[in-house]
Each structure stands twice: as structure tokens, then as C-alpha cells.
Amino acid sequence: MVNYFSLMGDSISTFVGTQPEGYRVHYDYENMQKNALRYIRDTWWAQTISHFSGRLCVNNSYAGSCVAGKHPFSGNSPKRTGLLHNGNIAPDIILIYMGIKDFGRGVPIKRKYFSFRKNPLYFEDAYALMITRIKNNYPTSRIICGTIARTYHAKINNWQFPEKFSGIALEDYNESIRFLVQKYKCELVDLRYVYYETLDGTHPTLKGHEELAEGWISGLEKIL
């Protein structure tokens, strides 16, 4: 039996010609050339899906998108969380790899007071909304969330990944993802020890996609 995979992602997972119409793409032909990508199979997600003999259902990745926010293309939005099927084909497995944009923009993780009502302007609330909306729309799909991997620079040897932005540590976002995966009974691929190559500190090169794929494949082999 072939498993259909859908993706919830940001610019890291975009690739020209693979996303829904109107979605913003980072890996257009210019950025493909800069990063030495030539084919869909060069992406981390295509390598991962191929490793498990699966097929792509929908690549719901939008360049520049955070999990948090009230924009129609925020990861938690009803629009995004309802576009993971292709016609009559619902995904067997949904891979969520988002959060690095929230980290880079210093999106607050939690509000200072408790409330039952979810506020999509906070990372943890928004991630919870994203998961619950996906579960409601695709109740038979397995939801697998990845924590945020770190990067290194291909051309600057002494470049170091910034562990904090706006005073918030990367691991604080990752701890929220781990907590929500357990709370909402999803599954986790923990990429805490993965570093991938970039030219800009965020977007994988060809080698970076291979390194990110290795992390995903290693984690998925434990649960698939």
C-alpha cells in the first residue's frame, strides 16, 4: 500500500511548481540555481517521501509564513489547514515542519495569563490551533511534527547559529512543539541535533536538503 504524504511548511519546503496556485515560493528558478537544486527530488521532503516509497499528496508550503498570525497563509489558518488533500485523496501522513520564521521574528510563545481561548498571535496557541484544525479536517491522517533544526553557513566558517532571537531561545519553541505533540497525541521527529548547510542562515542548499532529509528519515524510521 502506497502512503500519500502532505506537507505543512514554510519557505524551506517550497519548490516551484509543487504548491497550490497563488502560494509564494522561495525556491524559484533563481534560488534553485543559487543553492544547486535542479529537481524536485533534491528537496528534503521528496527524498524523505521517496525513502518510504510514498507519494506527494499536497505541498502546502508558503514562503515567509509563520505558524502564528491571523493572515490567511499563517500555518494555523483555516485556509491552510484545510488544503492538505488532493481531490478525493486525503493524506495518510502529514509532515509539519514550521516554526523557524516564528523564531526569526521573535513571535511570543505564550501569553502571561491563562486563557482557554486560543490566540493565534502566540506560537503555542497557534501551533495548537494548527494541529486541532488539521485533526478535525483529516481525522484518519497521521500527523508528524518536526522540531526546528539548526543551520550552518557554507561560506563563513566562524558563523554560528543564533540560539536566541528577540530574547527567545530556539529550544523554547521546540519545547512547545514537543509538549503539543504529546498533548494532542501526534508524533514527533526531533531534529535538535540536526545542522544543515545554508547560504543565508535559513534556507538549505542541495547539501542542506540532504542533511535535513537524513534527520527526517532517521526520525521517521523509528515510528513508520
> What pLDDT, on a 0 to 100 scale, did the predictor assign at position 183?
97
Please state, in angstroms and rounded to a whole number, the distance separating the CA atoms of residues 142 and 151: 27
Query: Where are the chain's structural domains?
Result: 4-220
Look at residues 195, 17, 165, 167 and name the one whose alpha carbon lies nearest to residue 101. 165
Look at residues 44, 40, 74 and name the one whose alpha carbon lies nearest to residue 211. 44
CATH 3.10.20.30 correct for 4-220: no
> What pLDDT, on a 0 to 100 scale, did the predictor assign at position 69?
98
Residue with cell 488533500: 85
Contacts of 62 (CB under 8 A, 6+ apart): 9, 10, 11, 14, 19, 23, 24, 73, 80
> What pLDDT, on a 0 to 100 scale, did the predictor assign at position 113?
86
- Three-class DSSP category at 183: helix
> What pLDDT, on a 0 to 100 scale, did the predictor assign at position 116?
86
Question: How many residues are there in the chain?
Answer: 224
Q: What is the greatest pairwise CA distance in the chain?
A: 50
> What pLDDT, on a 0 to 100 scale, did the predictor assign at position 115?
83
Which three three-digit cell numbers place residue 65? 509564513
Contact 22, 73 (CB under 8 A): no
Residue with cell 543565508: 200
Please state, in angstroms and rounded to a whole number, the distance separating the CA atoms of residues 84 and 141: 10
Please list the rounded mean pLDDT of every run of 10 residues in the chain (224 residues). 96 98 97 98 98 98 98 97 98 98 97 89 98 98 98 96 95 98 98 97 98 98 96
